[in-house]
Amino acid sequence: MLKEGVLGRFGALIKGLLILRQRAHEISETDVFYCRNLDLLLLGAIARHLYAKDAQLVYEVLDIHPLTLRSGMLGAVFRGLERVLLRRVDLLVLSSRRFHCDYFAKKQRFDGKWYLLENKVPRFDFLRDANARRGSKISIGYVGKFRCATSLELLERLAREYSDQIELVLAGHANAPLKKRLEKLCNLANVKHLGPYRYPEGLVDIYPRIDLNWGLDIDGGENAQMLMPNRIYEGGLFGVPVLALRGTETADYAAKNNLGWVLDRPDWPSLENFIETITPAALADKSSAIRRMPRGAFMEEDAHECLLQEIASRRADNISIECAPQRG
């Protein structure tokens, strides 16, 4: 499986290099190479070296590349490759502060310029419901891509053992290995699977149904400990408190901003203890407090415009980019 993945990436890299050569004239006029993930960073660095030596190289990271987090020789090779490329990067764009302090600064020894671009909800028009609670049961929502088997196991047990108190609302789709487990979970009477949804407009049909936002990614390893998932901003936008796992950036952010509760351990006794102590009144109070926060805490305002200005300001000839004014 790993071998096939590496070979697939190598094949895509070769294809990318051929495309660069075919479009060399267009690429030579590039001002900025904006590269999302390690594969594209490598292509961007090669393209700049061959065709546009004065262009800027920007590296955006929404997740730490899984191969760079592996132990052993393969992981060391990929970390070394990334470290070499980072020396050529003009600006590093990260979606989580902990990506910088725990990985890029600590492990990759990156001391260059970086910019925080949070996974906030894109701007769109909607009316925020003033009262999210509609039923007698506590509704727990798991929204997004289901890639955590342990989360599905815990939620299934929760739905079975607290069928008279808890309902689950699922929205999104599962990774291929988890599809059967998801189908089994959805067969329970107190589980609703809304299926895939349009982003961000579809959030309006999901979060008003939810009292508590499942924010745990237990199987995601080191990357899951560092990342800031979209769902914490989505839930906050609709006044839905989050349940996060202690030791993660999500939990630290939730605790700092009073957005929900923190589970001490990723196991059934901890989850059961939380469910036994949480009350509808506590959920409603937390939701009301979150709803009083400004939308800008969860919805994108001018972060992308500020990023463009940051990139433009780094060039001596001030490349032309139309930007909204920065906040003073």
Q: What is the mean pLDDT of residues 12-39?
A: 85
The predicted pLDDT at position 1 comes to 43
User: What confidence tier does 326 reach under pLDDT thresholds 50, 70, 90?
Assistant: very low
Predicted confidence (pLDDT) at residue 322 exceeds the cutoff of 60 = no
Q: What is the mean pLDDT of residues 102-113?
A: 96
Burial of residue 198 (number of CB atoms within 10 Å: 0-12, 13-18, 19+): exposed
Lowest-pLDDT range of 85-99, 241-255, 295-309: 295-309
Lowest-pLDDT range of 22-31, 140-149, 235-244, 294-303: 22-31
The predicted pLDDT at position 89 comes to 97
The predicted pLDDT at position 9 comes to 66
Predicted confidence (pLDDT) at residue 15 exceeds the cutoff of 50 = yes
Q: What is the mean pLDDT of residues 58-63?
A: 96
Concatenated DSSP letters of 50-88: HH-TTSEEEEEESS--GGGG--HHHHHHHHHHHHHHHTT
**Cβ proximity of 54 and 78 under 8 Å:** no
Model pLDDT for residues 72-82, shown as the tens digit of each residue: 999 999 999 99
Predicted confidence (pLDDT) at residue 131 exceeds the cutoff of 80 = no
The predicted pLDDT at position 26 comes to 85
Predicted confidence (pLDDT) at residue 31 exceeds the cutoff of 80 = yes
- Measured between alpha carbons, how far is residue 198 from residues 13, 130, 182, 206 in Å? 31, 23, 20, 11
Predicted confidence (pLDDT) at residue 213 exceeds the cutoff of 90 = yes
Q: What is the mean pLDDT of residues 173-193?
A: 93
The predicted pLDDT at position 24 comes to 83
DSSP state of 319: -
Predicted confidence (pLDDT) at residue 10 exceeds the cutoff of 70 = no
Give me the domains of the chain, ranges plus CATH numbers. Answer: 16-120+302-313 (3.40.50.2000), 138-297 (3.40.50.2000)
User: What confidence tier does 134 reach under pLDDT thresholds 50, 70, 90?
Assistant: low
Predicted confidence (pLDDT) at residue 61 exceeds the cutoff of 60 = yes
User: What confidence tier does 21 reach under pLDDT thresholds 50, 70, 90?
Assistant: confident
Predicted confidence (pLDDT) at residue 294 exceeds the cutoff of 80 = yes
C-alpha span between 69 and 221 (Å, rounded): 9
Q: What is the mean pLDDT of residues 232-258?
A: 97
Range list of H helices, the chain: 2-22, 24-27, 38-51, 72-86, 97-98, 149-161, 179-186, 221-226, 230-237, 249-256, 268-277, 280-291, 303-313
User: What confidence tier does 19 reach under pLDDT thresholds 50, 70, 90?
Assistant: confident
C-alpha span between 232 and 249 (Å, rounded): 11
- Measured between alpha carbons, how far is residue 9 from residues 3, 5, 302, 316 in Å? 10, 6, 34, 36
Q: Which residue has the tokens 């979970």?
A: 185
The predicted pLDDT at position 53 comes to 93
Predicted confidence (pLDDT) at residue 317 exceeds the cutoff of 90 = no
User: What confidence tier does 328 reach under pLDDT thresholds 50, 70, 90?
Assistant: very low
C-alpha span between 305 and 319 (Å, rounded): 14
Predicted confidence (pLDDT) at residue 145 exceeds the cutoff of 80 = yes
If one counts every other C-beta atom within 10 angstroms of the C-beta of residue 35, the result is 23
**Does the N-terminal peptide bond of residue 200 adopt cis geometry, omega within 30 degrees of 0?**
yes
Lowest-pLDDT range of 5-14, 88-97, 233-242, 266-275: 5-14
